[in-house]
Amino acid sequence: MTTSQNDNVYPFKNNAPQKTISQWREAYPNFADLCFKDQEISLALRYAFSWSQFFLGYLARDLNTSGKFFTKSPAHQVYYYIMLKTFADSVLFRQSDQIGTKHQDAIREMKRMGISEPSARSIIAESVDAGYVVETFWRQDQRVKMLFLTTEMMKSWLNHCAFLMFDFIKEANLPEMREEIEAAGEGFFERVLQKIETSMQQDQQLNEN
């Protein structure tokens, strides 16, 4: 008895309905149409693409130990840029070598950004213990603690952030995107937001029916 080649071949049966549109379009049909058909929305999406490309490059950059510390969380970054801004402001605009930030001012600024006081104090203490920030006392009042970045931290920022930022900005075409958005006319973002809001309302009404 011979067995034909087709004896062990069974037709594949798929009872699931064949979808012709994505779940995204099913859920948000008006917004989906807007994304593909509206020129201003298309420009906004290209802007979003450029910023995504920029931040992916920025966040994936190689960092040294101190760089990893100051980018560990948004709170760490807020702290670092408070210190960096104070340093630059003192030298450039106040023409002063008193470049320190008061300990309490740093905590107050971090709290203003939504960081709890215990977290702020912990981050400051870690930075001092690691040698990234110098803690001293104000000469006019020895009760007031002062904080300032070490020279190594300035070098680290220039090397691992500022130096690379221009490349990331250029590769993401952000300067060109800015020119296109300015050419789109005043109120571009307001118009885009209004269009998206209208599509959201329309999609919500469809889902309710």
pLDDT of residue 16: 56
- Residue 38 or 166, more confident: 38
What is the DSSP code string of 56-83?
A: HHHHTS---HHHHHHTSSHHHHHHHHHH
Average pLDDT on 167-187 reads: 93
Chain segment 94-139, per-residue pLDDT in tens? 888 888 899 999 999 999 989 999 999 999 999 999 999 999 998 8
CATH of domain 61-172: 1.10.10.10
Q: Give the chain's count of helices (H) and strands (E).
A: 11, 3
Structure tokens belonging to residue 90: 């003192």
Q: Which residue has the tokens 């104070």?
A: 86
Task: Flag whether pLDDT at 187 surpasses 90.
Answer: yes
Contact 70, 79 (CB under 8 A): yes
Task: Name the pTM for this structure.
Answer: 0.70
